Structure 1
């Protein structure tokens, strides 16, 4: 039985709990958050212990911690959990920037513990089915990826709008596009970006294009325009459309150069975070300290891409 503690009790923590219920061999011990009222609501809904401090939670008999706070504090709580001897699954982006991510990875290595960034798309049944299908009927060498999302109906009180909590379109949405780019095109060689800011000092809409080892990417992310939310992956023998919302993938269409069309429709359950959580638990059972799917190097590449984009548009957070 893998016993879990949760740090942060916001929206994503509730989705994590929805998924955890579907992962066999797991147990929820309790949670802590910076706001006591959110802890009380969380425990009332899911049971467990409402801890009065993060230290109290980490001193408890738990095996793993899900860090569900905002990006400004990810590295802080990850390091505290690792020092306390707990495996860590951290919500994306795994750290504020590459420098803070490296500090987390250093502690994870010293403690010989599992650390993984919670990047969910590759664990969804549709995505896994797509990868399996392409092994026998490929689209050739991939050289271009286009993706993005702009969500214009987010509540004004959403933490993505908070500069102090490291919000903004690049941090909140762009990390998904960074994953898709690195996954299909390899390491980043250069980044170009433009961004538009709101009164809240964070980027409300940003576009960035990238050059990689294998090709090029074009991406957008935003909070005040209604974007489509699909993804396009182009190879020499065909292309793939992962239909909206591509980061919660359920449908994909493969169009081949010879005219053939393949439709994939694989629904997901329990909100989708159950798949990455199950993967993480299997890694613990196997005694591994790094995911072969979301590797530490992939996390480095993703956050470095965001660092570059933010540097170009002029978005720096406190302490940077």
Structure 2
């Protein structure tokens, strides 16, 4: 039995619990949130102990911690959990910048514990099936990726708009596009970024072009336009369209140069976070210290891309 503690009891924590119910051999043991009423309501729904402090949660009889707070506190809570001897699954982005991530990873290595960034797309059944299908019926070497999303319906006061909480389109959405480009095209060689700021001091829309070891990507993220949210992956023998929302993928179409069209449908259950959670729990059982899918190097490459993009549009968070 893997006993979980949760830090942060907002919307994503509820979605995590929806998925955890589908992962055998797990249970929620303790939860904590900065707002007392939030954690009280959370445990009323899901059970476990409502803690009054992070220290109390980390002293609980738990094996792993899911960090569901905003990016500004990811490093702080990850480091505290690792020092307390707990494995950590941390929401994306794992830290606000590469130096903060390196500190987390050094502590994880020192303590001999598993640390993984919660980047969900590669664990969905559709994404897994697509990768497997293309092994036997390839689209040739991939040289171009186009992806993005702009969500224009976040209500006023949403944490995505908060400079203090390290919000913004790049941090909230762009991290997904960074993953997709790196996963299909390899390490980033060059980034070119344009961005538009909002009243709260964060990027409301950003577009970034990237050069990789194996090709090029055109990516966008935003909060004040309504974007499509699909993804295009182009190879020499065909191209793949992952239908919206590509980061919660359930359908993809492969168009081949010879005229063939293949459609893959793989619905997901329980909100989708159950797949990455199952992967994380399997790693804990195996005694692994790192995911082979969302590796520490992948996390480094993703946040490095965002660091460069933010620098190019002039977005610095407190302490940078």
> Does TM, normalized by the shorter one, top 0.5?
yes
For 1:174, what is the secondary structure of its paired residue?
helix
Q: Which residue is 2:226 aligned to? A: 226
User: CA–CA distance in 2 between the matches of 1:17 and 1:30?
Assistant: 12
2:138 aligned with 1:134, yes or no?
no
Tell me by how many angstroms 1:35 deviates: 1.2
User: CA–CA distance in 2 between the matches of 1:84 and 1:230?
Assistant: 40
**Which ranges of structure 2 fall in alignment gaps of 5 or more residues?**
none
1:161-310 equivalent positions in 2, closer than 5 A: 161-310=161-310
User: CA–CA distance in 1 between the matches of 2:217 and 2:96?
Assistant: 23
Tell me by how many angstroms 1:157 deviates: 2.4
User: CA–CA distance in 1 between the matches of 2:92 and 2:310?
Assistant: 16
The two structures, once aligned, show a CA RMSD in angstroms of 0.5
For 1:245, what is the secondary structure of its paired residue?
coil
Q: Which residue is 1:40 aligned to? A: 40
Post-superposition Cα deviations, 1:105-130, rounded to whole Å, max 9, x if no partner, equal 00000000000000000000000110
Cα pair 2:30 2:60 within 8 Å, conserved: no
User: CA–CA distance in 2 between the matches of 1:143 and 1:259?
Assistant: 20
Q: Which residue is 1:122 aligned to? A: 122
User: CA–CA distance in 2 between the matches of 1:266 and 1:156?
Assistant: 35
For 1:259, what is the secondary structure of its paired residue?
coil
Cα pair 2:142 2:233 within 8 Å, conserved: yes
Post-superposition Cα deviations, 1:203-225, rounded to whole Å, max 9, x if no partner, equal 00000000000000000000010
User: CA–CA distance in 2 between the matches of 1:55 and 1:34?
Assistant: 13
Post-superposition Cα deviations, 1:179-233, rounded to whole Å, max 9, x if no partner, equal 0011000000010000001101000000000000000000000001000000000
Q: Which residue is 2:51 aligned to? A: 51
User: CA–CA distance in 2 between the matches of 1:304 and 1:243?
Assistant: 27
Post-superposition Cα deviations, 1:48-104, rounded to whole Å, max 9, x if no partner, equal 111000000001110000000100000000000000000000000000100000000
**Which ranges of structure 1 fall in alignment gaps of 5 or more residues?**
none
Post-superposition Cα deviations, 1:262-316, rounded to whole Å, max 9, x if no partner, equal 0001000000000000000000000100000000000000000000000000110
- What TM-score results when the alignment is normalised by the length of structure 1? 0.99
Q: Which residue is 1:30 aligned to? A: 30
For 1:95, what is the secondary structure of its paired residue?
coil
User: CA–CA distance in 2 between the matches of 1:150 and 1:204?
Assistant: 9
User: CA–CA distance in 2 between the matches of 1:314 and 1:31?
Assistant: 37
User: CA–CA distance in 1 between the matches of 2:269 and 2:157?
Assistant: 28
How many residue pairs get aligned? The number is 320
For 1:145, what is the secondary structure of its paired residue?
strand
User: CA–CA distance in 1 between the matches of 2:170 and 2:229?
Assistant: 15
User: CA–CA distance in 1 between the matches of 2:148 and 2:59?
Assistant: 41
Runs of 4+ in 1 over 2 A off after TM superposition: none
Post-superposition Cα deviations, 1:14-59, rounded to whole Å, max 9, x if no partner, equal 1001100110000100101111111111111111111000000001
For 1:297, what is the secondary structure of its paired residue?
helix
